[in-house]
Structure formats: structure tokens, C-alpha cells
Chain A
Amino acid sequence: MEKIYTLSLAFISIVVINNLVLTKFLGICPYLGVSGRIDMAFGMGLAVTFVITLAGSMTWLIDHLILVPKGLEITRYVCYILVIAGAVQLVEMYLRKFFPPLYESFGIFLPLITTNCAILGLCLFLNVWATDNFPEAAVLSFGAGIGFTLAICIMAGIREQLNFSDVPKALRGAPITLITAGILTMAFMGFAGMIK
């Protein structure tokens, strides 16, 4: 019981309180690039969730089973990137086969998940936060993906509305998107300190 409580707290924490996009400003590239339409944003969110869950849990395993016992922490980045890149390649093949329209609309942003800093960030944060058991690492990884999906979908919803509003000419496009991102972040600041 105690364990489930901790895990659900960890999940809520990574989704809303320590949301990687909104509080750490990681993974901004797809967050701003693919948030034009909700369906695309949701697809991107799912792709990132898959990659981040796979990468997070696998790197935790590799880290704790091989790298730390052998004293090979210096090769962390290389190993992590290897895992992430492999996972992204897998996602790309899968999408290309089963969701060609989605694959087309992602364009360059799909392979760019490889270098999505939210994913490498999460893998490294698992060390920083000293996550010492596998379920917690897996839940945190999955939660980070869900948090990313949440953030990008909210953003896409706002941007779809923005298309119909009268934005001053100087702010159209990227500027208003960045302002929106800033205000959204401030809204999420309200969650800070909810869990001790």
C-alpha cells in the first residue's frame, strides 16, 4: 500500500508539478514545432511517451546493472543516446508503416525526438533524484511522457484558438506562441509545493 502511494505521488509529481516542459523548459523544440493542431500534438505526445518510457526504464536498468557496478559512469551519455536513438528509430518505422499521414505531418520532428532534451533530461534526472527502485523509475519515465503529452496538447488547443483571434501583426507566429508558453508555465506554477 505504501508503495502504491509513493508511486502515485511520483506520477502526479512528474506530470503536473515537475512537468519537464513547463517547469524545466526541456523539449521545447517539438513543443513549439508540432503544436499547431491537437491531433498532431497528441500523436507527437504518444510518440514521445513511448520513447521516454522505453528509454527511461532501459537506461535505469543499464545504469544500475552494468554501468554503476563496473564503474563506467563516464560512458552514460553515449549509452543513453544509443538507447534513445534506437527507440526513436523503432517508433519511426512503426509510424511509417501504420500511420503514414501522421508520419508525413511530423516531418523532421520525428527523428528529432532522438535529441529531444526532455528524454535525455529525464534519464539523467533519474540519477539526480537518486531513484533507487525500478518501478519508480518506470513510473517516472511514463509520467514524464504523459506530462509532455499534456503540455503539448494544452498548447495545441490554445494555438488552435489563437488562429481565430486578432493577434497584433508584430506578434503573429512564433512570438505569440512563446508568450503563450510563458503564461501557461505561470499557470502551472500554481502546482508547485503541492506535494512535499
Chain B
Amino acid sequence: MINIFIAQINWLELWNNSWPAGVTMLVLGLGFSIILLIADKKLKVEADPTIERIYMALPRIDCGTCGFAGCSSYAKAVAADPVLLGKCAPGGAACAQKIAEILNLQVSGEGAPKRPIVHCGAKKSDKTYFGKYDGIASCTSANATSNVQACKFGCLGYGDCKASCKFSSITIVDGLATINYNTCTGCGACAKACPRGLIEMVPFNYDKIMTVACRSQESGKDTKAFCKVGCIACKLCAKQTDAFSINNNLSKLDYSKYTPNEQFKTAMEKCPTNTIVYRGK
């Protein structure tokens, strides 16, 4: 079958018709390559290979925590000014170390990656409501309304942090923002989004750390009236270890002092309102 087709082709005619086309394209291609090669010589840009290497060391997720438009612009900035080293929260210490090696620098300072912690532990059934809020379903608007819920400090549960999270790591479970630490990169967008400032970026020395899941500065009596799991500043935890300090009717944990030992476990068990909880993986 194919042989018949080939036999019908007049090779001489085909050749006579096609060589000008080939020559035209050859000349065009050759001409352009010569022009482009000359242009390349004249317009060559010296690219800095270290910038490329820094960029490859970064997580390349373009989250913008460092304050630059994306990972490539941060790489450029770091190469020019090493003071900016360590601004990459998702990359953490390992990334800073890598960049420091590329730039021949010594790196020091906190090594633990920072991750957000929601300082509230109240589910819907734990909270007290004065009335019904029917406004726009966002924490920012709800926060501007008085009496949206009894506790002026607790999680509102409308998910401004969830909307800010680029990695879908936050879900609202029963009226409480809950972070999935397996997918969280520690970019800090949620900490900025929360109108009540409940979310704090905390150095995670361990995969799972203890926290006081409350921010209420109301007196113990009021807190108890408003919330079943609020900190009433009873000081029982502070008696166990000096990592807990009581200020403004609120217990605060110094995360740098936290180690998973018996003292902390007892402090957690002694807490009458179960405000001290584990957060993390």
C-alpha cells in the first residue's frame, strides 16, 4: 500500500518545489540566530548564582511572611543584606542555616520553628451568650459588636483566621479555631488576622507543647460565670513550676521553660477549669 504511494511521487518535481522553501527557512533561521547571538553578547545580564541557590534553599511557597513579595525577591534581598536572614518562618532554622552556609555566615539564635497557638479553648457549649448575633459572619464585624458573646477575649469562631490561611490548616470546630499542625507552615497570617489577638506565634521546642488556652483578663469570678474552661487565676499551676506566672487575672506560660516533665503534668491535672491543654502534633 505504502509502496504504491511512494511510487506515485515524482521525486524530481518534489525536490524542485521544496528546496527553495528549505533554503528560505534556513536563511531566515540563520539570520535570526546570528542577530540573536550578537544581541546576546551585547545584552548579557550577569546573573548571581548565589541568589539562585538561596532561592532553591527556600520553601518556595511565596507566603510573604518575610515581608517581601515572594521567595525570589526575598532571596535577592538576603543575598544583598544578610541581616534579613531568618525572616523565613516556614523554612525555620534549617532554612536559615542553609542560606547562611551559602553566604558563608555563622548563624545563631532561636532554633525552634514558630507555630501559632490559639489562646482559647472554649467550645460552643462552654461559652455563654448574651444574645444572638445576626450580623456579617466575620470575626472583625462581630468583634465590633458588644455582647456578641459574654467573654470579651475568647474565640468568636467566624473564621477570619481560617480565611487568612493559605494552607487550609485551620478549621472551625464547634465554634473554636483549631489548627492542624501537620500542614501548618508557621507563616503567621492567622496571628495577624485575628481581631482579638488570640493567636500567638510560639516557638515549638517539642512537637506537642502545653499552653494556657485562655486570654481572659476578667476577674476569676466573671471568667467563671462566662466560660467553663477559662483561666480563673487560681495560681495552682504557678505553685507547681515557675514557668507559669499570673498577671492580670491570667496565667501565662513561658514557652522557653517548657519541658515535658512531671511538674508540668501535675500542673495540668491540678488546673480546676482544665484550661491548660496540649497543642501541637
Contacts and interface: CB of A to CB of B under 8 A. Distances in A.
Interface of A: 62, 66-67, 70-72, 74-75, 78-79, 82-83, 86, 89-90, 93-94, 96-97, 100
A62 B40 contact: no
A90 B35 contact: yes
Contact of A72 (B20, B43, B44): B20
Given A66-B20, A78-B25, A83-B28, 17 more contacts: A62-B24, A66-B24, A70-B20, A70-B24, A72-B21, A75-B21, A75-B25, A82-B29, A86-B32, A90-B35, A90-B36, A93-B43, A94-B39, A94-B43, A96-B45, A97-B43, A97-B45
Contacts of B29: 82
6 contacts: A62-B28, A72-B20, A72-B21, A72-B24, A79-B28, A82-B25
B24 A96 contact: no
A66 to B, nearest CB: 5
Interface residues of B, number: 15
Nearest to A70: B20
A62 B24 CA distance: 9
Contacts of A96: 43, 45
Contacts of B20: 66, 70, 72
Main secondary structure of the interface of B (DSSP, over half): helix
A82 B32 contact: yes
Nearest to A100: B45
Nearest to A96: B45
Prevailing SS type, chain A contact patch: helix
Given A62-B28, A72-B20, A93 B35 contact: no
A79 B24 contact: yes
A75 B24 contact: yes
A90 B28 contact: no
A50 B20 CA distance: 29
Contacts, number: 45
B35 A86 contact: yes
Contacts of B21: 70, 72, 74-75
Interface string B5-42: 00000000000010011001100110010011001100
B39 A93 contact: yes
Contacts of B17: 71
Interface string B127-153: 000000000000000000000000000
A13 B25 CA distance: 33
Nearest to A103: B45
Nearest to A89: B36
Given A93-B43, A96-B43, A67 B24 contact: yes
Contacts of B40: 93
A94 B17 CA distance: 39
A79 B22 CA distance: 11
A72 B158 CA distance: 68
Contacts of B28: 62, 79, 82-83
Contacts of A93: 36, 39-40, 43
A86 B25 contact: no
Contacts of A100: 45
A93 B25 CA distance: 23
Interface in B39-67: 39-40, 43-45
Contacts of B39: 90, 93-94
Interface in B210-255: none
A70 B24 CA distance: 10
B253 to A, nearest CB: 40
Contact of A79 (B25, B35, B44): B25
- Sort A-B residue pairs by CB-CB distance and give the 7 closest, nearest first: A86-B32, A97-B43, A93-B43, A70-B20, A75-B21, A72-B21, A82-B28
A101 to B, nearest CB: 11
Contacts of B25: 75, 78-79, 82
A62 B28 CA distance: 9
Contacts of A79: 24-25, 28
A175 B32 CA distance: 40
B265 to A, nearest CB: 48
Contacts of A75: 21, 24-25
A72 B45 CA distance: 39
Nearest to A69: B20
B138 to A, nearest CB: 12
